Structure 1
């Protein structure tokens, strides 16, 4: 039987290593590649003009690649559950294929589409290719539980073996028996949207340092894979957060949108590592892909993963509600140049180094401002090109010491941390030009510069650039005590739950004695600043 097939592009905006697309082409007479502009996303999350631009560029590149296969991309507007019945009927569809998506809304959306397809007699084929492994299988192999440490994940994956090899991209030969009706009739209703249609002003976009699309992704991958010594020696903690050009690959936006297959990335690295001395997980490039897998698995299996409330692994912290602090942090007006330079780079370029993310996340949450990680998560969701639901939620919980990482007494200094790798403050001067005339001695703490020096630099602190909104040394120590209290309360709640469950079973478990909350609060911890 020859099928009339729809392949539904979502995140996997590529031809290479796209098993669901190949499944659509098998025994196919008519192929309709589509992308749906789902209004749910702009209604339920903030998306910056930079990320919209990346998506539009990726869709244009995908369309050009499909044209080379004598096909095209149809961009459909509307809720998937509302548009599919019409497409099934108009195109006489008998098969629908798409890549598995593990995010909560996506799973709900896909389940509804599968039901609709069944009602219309349409076969559905789903393939795993956005992650290295099937996250459901990883959880099943771990006795139905999400691995909560990197080592646990590694142990489970060791039993599963290496990730599947990527599949080849389709060719004209693959497409020889199928066609795309209407590929030459560019009906405006199926065209790629402009930024204006998406409600965005192109003039507000920052410099296009990372153009979207599979072609760009593969070109960048090829560039980095030629740096074989660098690849083999790569250790993420040794890279620098405040270099004037990125010290890492910046392939994350391409992996997030699926312009670059994570499996292709993995196996390219494997080829380079073979027979050579190289770094290992968790710090190697392979290790970075496994961190992605770690958070994807957690996001797939932990309820309410992107929230504190109802999240079983998240420490419940009584964060402050301070919109003014959030606004100042987001806009780069905290009065700490290192923090403000990072946030300025994020707003304008859509990407910042992972250690820069550590610094600003710690500052917003447990380090200084004592604002919920959920507020930071929203800002990163809006501004990052590589904003990824699972990784964003997981990393914010980690950096706020709410889950995964529990050394809450280790606090990033908004002054000392940046100085480690950029004593002269060149990074600050690039993103905060108002401070460019301050000498290195004061570039991280311009409020300490004498008034005469501020006048000479053409920047009066408190007028031209804000004073620090908080005093780091005092607040970081206070916040350590507040985190200690939150952890003590969590321990007490867990102990009470254990006793309750034990009593239910007919026995009473004697709990070990431990320090009270008062004792924990009065004991002075040794603060550590990075």
Structure 2
């Protein structure tokens, strides 16, 4: 199959997205052990000597040169190295991936391309379905090897299985390396000895303690062979595109300049700033529950999660840099609240997503409690479009779209509000929204956190409900966060900033914000919904469904 040019792809993408390029949402999930090892029969993991040959290194995540085992392996094998990124129509759709999330990924790609060009190479960008693109490239470039990084979400595993089968038919050897997690997930599965993975963090920490620290990062790859341009003429290859060149995105106006720019260089710079903050004291005092959800400049956390998610920053490098700083202090916070603890949370949820069937949905998920959620489309749209009438919720959902990022406690509040707190809408709907807009949207972490906040798994204290009024007021009594993201309320007196519906009409006129006209009235009564929903949760837990 010929690989389409950018213009051809632009014409066909909307059709392809709804045809066989997209996996069915009902794709069967493999059972735990099979899912963990489904691709092993096709992978060449030996470390013996191989005759050098034309090699594709297929970048998906790990958009970096430092601590990149996949790139290191490819360089070792390559007589000619083809650094390839495939823009998969399954993902490249504005209904699935929001503006800021896509922008951040493109910035990571551009930064990687800039680094490769220092070695007279570049990132080759091709648009199309990965199996067909890779087959065409391997045939055209007469490739001996294909190297890519192990992925853990269900779509990627199904895609990689198809790729490996096709490569086997072509006689192309595949090397699949672990580099996106602290540990090789298959190694963790093997260490379970057939047991179920721990579902509580305390048990996971004990499990990790028995295994020992993760591998240290490898050296930055610096011996990248130059790319001969004459080898590329037979395939339509694009440079890293601008977002407005992608179908559907050209009509979207950037919500607002995002303070977080993607790329390996920005990731390393941001990591160093965090490590050096207060000469390391900030690192060793860090306690995630005590950070502020309304601190914007600077944020009260590292905001390194988007870079780790895209692989612009190695999670192993960050772990060992944190360890280096921590080892120089005698007193420090510890997991699960410390910064290293946050990396363990990530690893924990990755392992669960890798081993538990249907992890990102309710049906067929053995970990997820079945709760009879009700869907009211007008309520869901009000939540997603920042029109609930609760200023903190609406400011948070505005920040989500404008920045593509939220503090974890802010995520907690809006997730609780959508599900068990107020609207009683399924966590699956919220998960999809976060997956679309978050620049750090990570498949397993996103699903796990939504299950947690909705009391569908992990967390059982359903009587603890976040108030959209009292909770944020503790951190921000003057409502500066609300004023920043909701200009319509900028002049509202402090007394009414969290409950503007209580402002007398005279005050509303004075600040040019009439409730029900300039800003919506609350779609529900929080206290009433909280009481009603707690009673529902009591029934759910009594039934042990």
User: Normalising to structure 2: TM-score of the pair?
Assistant: 0.87
Deviations 1:30-79 (A, max 9, x none): 10010011112246961111111111111111111001122111111111
Equivalences, count? 487
By how many angstroms is 1:137 displaced?
2.3
Q: Max radius of gyration: which structure?
A: 1
Structure 2 alignment gaps of length 5 or more: 1-50
What is the correspondence of 1:205-354 to structure 2 with a 5 Å cutoff?
205-227=255-277, 228-245=280-297, 246-276=299-329, 277-354=331-408
Whether the aligned pair in 2 keeps the contact of 1:70 and 1:183 (CA below 8 Å) is: no
Match of 2:143 in 1: 93
Q: Quick check: 249-258 or 183-192, which moved more?
A: 183-192
Q: Quick check: 108-117 or 407-416, which moved more?
A: 108-117
Match of 2:532 in 1: 478
Aligned pair partner of 1:179 in 204, 216, 226: 226
Could you tell me how far apart the structure 2 residues matched to 1:304 and 1:13 are?
A: 28
Whether the aligned pair in 1 keeps the contact of 2:488 and 2:513 (CA below 8 Å) is: yes
SS at match of 1:76: strand
Deviations 1:333-363 (A, max 9, x none): 1111111111111111111100000000000
Aligned pair partner of 2:205 in 144, 154, 161: 154
Could you tell me how far apart the structure 2 residues matched to 1:166 and 1:304 are?
A: 32
Could you tell me how far apart the structure 2 residues matched to 1:77 and 1:327 are?
A: 32
Match of 1:48 in 2: 98
Q: Quick check: 154-163 or 363-372, which moved more?
A: 154-163
Could you tell me how far apart the structure 2 residues matched to 1:222 and 1:287 are?
A: 19
Aligned pair partner of 1:204 in 227, 247, 254: 254
Q: Quick check: 460-469 or 35-44, which moved more?
A: 35-44
Aligned pair partner of 1:189 in 214, 237, 242: 237
Q: 1:280 to 1:290 in 2, by over 3 A?
A: same
By how many angstroms is 1:188 displaced?
6.1
Deviations 1:470-498 (A, max 9, x none): 0111110110111121122225xxxxxxx
Match of 1:522 in 2: none
User: Normalising to structure 1: TM-score of the pair?
Assistant: 0.89
**1:83 partnered with 2:133:** yes
SS at match of 1:226: helix
Could you tell me how far apart the structure 2 residues matched to 1:184 and 1:111 are?
A: 28
Match of 1:163 in 2: 214
Structure 1 alignment gaps of length 5 or more: 492-530
Deviations 1:312-332 (A, max 9, x none): 111111111111111101111
What is the correspondence of 1:484-503 to structure 2 with a 5 Å cutoff?
484-490=538-544
Could you tell me how far apart the structure 1 residues matched to 2:77 and 2:91 are?
A: 34
Q: Quick check: 361-370 or 115-124, which moved more?
A: 115-124
Could you tell me how far apart the structure 2 residues matched to 1:101 and 1:322 are?
A: 35
By how many angstroms is 1:453 displaced?
1.3
What is the correspondence of 1:338-487 to structure 2 with a 5 Å cutoff?
338-487=392-541
Match of 1:8 in 2: 58
Match of 2:67 in 1: 17
RMSD, aligned CA: 1.6
Whether the aligned pair in 2 keeps the contact of 1:71 and 1:183 (CA below 8 Å) is: no
Could you tell me how far apart the structure 1 residues matched to 2:92 and 2:353 are?
A: 21
SS at match of 1:288: helix
Could you tell me how far apart the structure 2 residues matched to 1:89 and 1:184 are?
A: 12
Match of 1:34 in 2: 84
By how many angstroms is 1:437 displaced?
1.5
Q: Quick check: 408-417 or 477-486, which moved more?
A: 477-486
Deviations 1:231-270 (A, max 9, x none): 1100011100012321111111111100111001101100
Q: 1:332 to 1:249 in 2, by over 3 A?
A: same
Q: Quick check: 340-349 or 239-248, which moved more?
A: 239-248
Match of 2:8 in 1: none
Whether the aligned pair in 2 keeps the contact of 1:138 and 1:156 (CA below 8 Å) is: no
By how many angstroms is 1:190 displaced?
2.9
By how many angstroms is 1:458 displaced?
1.4
Could you tell me how far apart the structure 2 residues matched to 1:74 and 1:43 are?
A: 20
Could you tell me how far apart the structure 1 residues matched to 2:324 and 2:56 are?
A: 34
By how many angstroms is 1:189 displaced?
2.7
Could you tell me how far apart the structure 2 residues matched to 1:11 and 1:74 are?
A: 15
